[in-house]
Amino acid sequence: MSEAERRLAEMRAARDAARDRLARRLERAKDDLRPAVIKERVIADARHKAMELATEAIEIANDSRGVVVATGAALALWFARKPLGQAALSLYRQWTPEAGTVARSGDWLMERVAGLLRRDAEEN
């Protein structure tokens, strides 16, 4: 075998090896582009990012517990604003003098307290 034939055989072998590598890469690319594989990758990425966000949120909440508690209390009061308002109005109506009565400042409250004390004494 001459030098030219040997070099030609080496070049053909290199070409065939490169063609095999390219064919394997194309097969992997086709496999990676299947809808099921893409779906799994997207789900895994979303799960990973969600876990990172949850971890960061927990760290922030631990660093500022007072703010979290105050925000939670404010939200609870906001959601319960109607029942609380109705209860406050009911208490206000219960403790204020009835419409049409004229009472000096503070007299109605003293009468109310005295009436409650009498009622408690009668019950006991």
Does 97 reside within a domain?
yes
Q: What is the mean pLDDT of residues 99-109?
A: 60
| More confident site: 92 or 32 | 32
Q: Which one is predicted more confidently, 107 or 26?
A: 26
- Asked if the structure places residue 114 within a domain, the reply is yes
The overall average pLDDT reported for the chain is: 87
Q: Is residue 118 part of a domain?
A: yes
Q: What distances in angstroms separate CA 94 from CA 22, 75, 80, 112, one per listed residue?
A: 88, 28, 21, 10
Look at residue 24 and tell me if it is in a domain. Answer: no
Q: Which residue has the higher pLDDT, 15 or 108?
A: 15
The structural domain count of the chain equals 1
Domain ranges, residue 113: 80-124
Residue 104 has pLDDT above 60, yes or no: no
Residue 97 has pLDDT above 90, yes or no: no
pTM of the model: 0.41
